[in-house]
Structure 1
């Protein structure tokens, strides 16, 4: 492959060390990072916008845009003051009007935001830098406003936050460390970001999304490339500097190549799972969902999907093995494959051989090979599996359809999700069983698990919280809203003249602090 950057224009006239060229895991499917989106959209969001609080690489929470917060003795009133000198990319100051409008928008779009909204009595400005949140009952405000595992509670200008859905005409004006260069955007080809010299980093060392976000390379270019082999060739040719989200087979091929590093940039693994559609038979019945879990053997999925043992781990926790909440209570019956018991439960569920639509895509290779293995396992357990193969974008669109499986919907899909969101019941979308079909695709509904989640979120005593977590874990393994297949590392590849990476607590790659020699 040659000539990737031949149309780079002004960018090519700059010193090569002033440009970081990245190929993302996928195209940016939306520029709105506050609601459901792909990882590339969240990377964009963390670059262009900033947040009130941030998680460090150990999932601890720190103030980011916030200078100080004060909490009343009854924990119902939070008074939050912004740092001085915060400015948007157009030079206008960040004010509490922008913050309140942004949080209201996020509360209508994200699972964590909607949970917080239930407990918010009012949000009101005190002055341009200070605002107040009044709660109906105590709520973990800092944890919610530091969320990086789903829709991001980043701060937009009031005009965009109040204008409804993003359109092609929406200005992408944030206050983050990078500025989006709109006039160089070529859809499906290139996105360009420049260092925002008006950004005032915190003075602390960077860690995850906390601390000082110092941009050391003036210009960053995202080049959308069509497939993994093209990306690998471009990296080896020196046409790009960094591959975001390297497929595991390509990682194996590039491992040990001269001048290239392949590694993970987070210690938190990411859950890998199969999600049943609880709206329609047979998976509106818990016995059929339990049969799914008994039909699989996690080590088999690790072997076919992740190539090397260190890149995938069996895990029987709804809250990420290795995280502070990685308990396995209730998983005991499901740690080994048991096809005979799976068949018995499937028959008890009332299933009579109807087609089961399993969405699959080899465009995301580890999902594709896991889908093929799942089809084999589930047929052995008595399911009549129909593999619906497509590109990844089509799979993502179809999995959000609430139509019946034979009318464009689905019964099952396999995917992965960021461990930074899953470790806590507050932000764990795959364990959220809130009824009403407003939760994560699959729309699990169990009032008892939802009650325990709510009890956990609102319990201030850590020892009591742990007891609730144990009961919640046991209940989730009983009702099985999600079938855990294991957990995986997220791999990246870069040329060895790149250094200074900040370890991320999530799937969102961090591009501040990086240097290029």
Structure 2
């Protein structure tokens, strides 16, 4: 497909266009990658959006990072020591860490950042609840003293997806509430955010951080040496999904976070394009975010009716992921990951609209209005939303469908307003295994009774199991507890799952060093022939 001159200007001018002077001064043309939805919120602690997480991995750094095998390795840290009873943890920062404003990263910044994150994130809240003391130990050290056993300290500090415990200056972390968007964006990561060139929702620009000192180890997943090999990066949004595919094929852009599903067969046949093969935790799961705060979804039978609407085979086929999907997977914690379990999954193994209709009758549902927020600009969520709408209507739900862009939906999603004041009932969502595979970050388990996320479930039966899981360090016993959590989450329909599939990232073959990890990892990438 050839682009007309006018289409080319739309790509290179509106979505991609950087000031020509800046391009001329760059040693090479910018690395351009297309994200699924527009970036509006720059703060990875206040925002639950993947696009903000993608942005943050360029700008910020983490204490601990996950490698391609799912192992947790020191990143900003030299390492750590633990006491014999594993209640006291001592950490030391590695030398050479500097924020983008030239100030050194200190233990004060770390402690302030962890405290802010710990008041926002599901795992962070649980870790802080088990913490007696979090203090500095000199300029480059800090100590975490637990009040009770907590089996996942390193896993918490190395959490790879929303919300990631990124480190920012203490003045920002201490001066900003967890839900308030930070006004100043300064990290210590491999790229520097150029705010003057930011066009919210359209284009975000970065330059290589010349002060950044990468680790000596090779890049591996999110771990190892974060070597920035391109001088300038542009993260862009293209609402026209077909234009995304054309732009990649013509070399106007280098990388698509999510390739249009309809174009995948042609892309696979194109020798100039590589399609992601990342699996396991890098795979994705469709799900339905339900507002437990408001009727009719405060009734478990109505929530179970939604579960019966979610025919995974039909959903994955309808969204185009039949070839790369796992329709038989009914595990809350993702198939192919550490805590995979089918305990309790019989209830959703063979979903049916007839069963959904029977559950609605049994629940006493009286045709109450259900506000479904439909993300029209998302290549992943728009087609899922269409299938979900069809099946919920056929089951007997009285849907009020309100279509919008994801950024607008995300702002409404976190509010707790009644329906007549902009509230919502149901939102189709998608999460990665990095979010879903760990019970303490899983959207249907880890937020139980925390009151800090939109869906607001609180199941008494889940609480003691989570507490035992938190305290346990033995892998086998943790798996057994996770299986029981799988059962309760499905039984109570906290966060109905709707199909697992491989994320369809795509990039140009001339790129070298691409880390196929399930979401964009921009360091280590360079173009061939340099």
> Which of residues 255, 267, 281 in structure 1 aligns to 2:295?
281
> Which of residues 143, 151, 157 in structure 2 aligns to 1:145?
157
Tell me the distance in 1 between the aligned counterparts of 2:221 and 2:386: 35
- 1:2 corresponds to which residue? 8
Tell me the distance in 2 between the aligned counterparts of 1:94 and 1:101: 12
**1:365–1:18 CA distance, 2 compared to 1 (3 A):** closer
SS of corresponding position for 2:317: helix
Contact 2:331 2:342 in 1 (8 A): yes
Tell me the distance in 2 between the aligned counterparts of 1:259 and 1:177: 28
Q: Deviations over 1:250-297 (max 9, x none)?
A: 434544235233335554211111122211222211122122222332
**1:263–1:68 CA distance, 2 compared to 1 (3 A):** closer
Tell me the distance in 2 between the aligned counterparts of 1:190 and 1:462: 44
**1:241–1:342 CA distance, 2 compared to 1 (3 A):** closer
- 1:291 corresponds to which residue? 305
> Which of residues 42, 60, 71 in structure 2 aligns to 1:49?
60
1:173 aligned to 2:179?
no
Comparing 221-230 with 26-35, greater Cα deviation is found at 221-230
SS of corresponding position for 1:306: coil
- 2:252 corresponds to which residue? 239
Comparing 379-388 with 494-503, greater Cα deviation is found at 379-388
Q: Deviations over 1:29-65 (max 9, x none)?
A: 2111123332221112111111100111222111111
Tell me the distance in 2 between the aligned counterparts of 1:271 and 1:127: 43
- 2:476 corresponds to which residue? 463
**1:434–1:194 CA distance, 2 compared to 1 (3 A):** same
Alignment of 1:158-237 (within 5 A): 158-164=170-176, 170-237=183-250
Contact 1:274 1:485 in 2 (8 A): yes
Q: CA deviation at 1:141?
A: 1.3
Q: CA deviation at 1:17?
A: 4.2
> Which of residues 256, 259, 283 in structure 1 aligns to 2:269?
256
- 1:399 corresponds to which residue? 413
**1:181–1:332 CA distance, 2 compared to 1 (3 A):** same
**1:450–1:227 CA distance, 2 compared to 1 (3 A):** farther
Gaps spanning 5+ residues in structure 2: where?
A: 1-6
- 2:451 corresponds to which residue? 437
Q: Deviations over 1:410-463 (max 9, x none)?
A: 22121101211211112112323522632x322111011132122112112222
1:486 aligned to 2:499?
yes
- 1:155 corresponds to which residue? 167
**1:311–1:381 CA distance, 2 compared to 1 (3 A):** closer
TM-score, normalisation: structure 2: 0.91
- 1:349 corresponds to which residue? 363
Contact 1:249 1:307 in 2 (8 A): no
Aligned length: 514
Gaps spanning 5+ residues in structure 1: where?
A: none
Tell me the distance in 1 between the aligned counterparts of 2:271 and 2:353: 46
- 2:3 corresponds to which residue? none
**1:362–1:428 CA distance, 2 compared to 1 (3 A):** same
Tell me the distance in 1 between the aligned counterparts of 2:235 and 2:21: 15
Q: CA deviation at 1:311?
A: 4.9
> Which of residues 365, 390, 395 in structure 2 aligns to 1:381?
395
SS of corresponding position for 1:174: coil
SS of corresponding position for 2:441: coil
Tell me the distance in 1 between the aligned counterparts of 2:386 and 2:253: 33
- 1:495 corresponds to which residue? 508
Tell me the distance in 1 between the aligned counterparts of 2:159 and 2:495: 21
Q: CA deviation at 1:323?
A: 0.8
TM-score, normalisation: structure 1: 0.93
**1:379–1:120 CA distance, 2 compared to 1 (3 A):** same
Contact 1:315 1:484 in 2 (8 A): no
Q: CA deviation at 1:361?
A: 2.6
Tell me the distance in 2 between the aligned counterparts of 1:511 and 1:277: 35
Q: CA deviation at 1:365?
A: 4.0
CA RMSD of aligned residues (A): 2.3
1:271 aligned to 2:285?
yes
Tell me the distance in 2 between the aligned counterparts of 1:16 and 1:283: 56
Tell me the distance in 1 between the aligned counterparts of 2:263 and 2:499: 21
Q: Deviations over 1:434-493 (max 9, x none)?
A: 22632x322111011132122112112222222211211111121110111111222223
- 1:334 corresponds to which residue? 348
Tell me the distance in 2 between the aligned counterparts of 1:327 and 1:153: 28
**1:179–1:7 CA distance, 2 compared to 1 (3 A):** closer
Q: Deviations over 1:364-411 (max 9, x none)?
A: 244233333223323333322332222222322222232223432122
Q: Deviations over 1:298-333 (max 9, x none)?
A: 100010012441156442011011111111210112
**1:277–1:59 CA distance, 2 compared to 1 (3 A):** same
Q: CA deviation at 1:149?
A: 2.1
- 1:369 corresponds to which residue? 383
Tell me the distance in 2 between the aligned counterparts of 1:340 and 1:173: 53
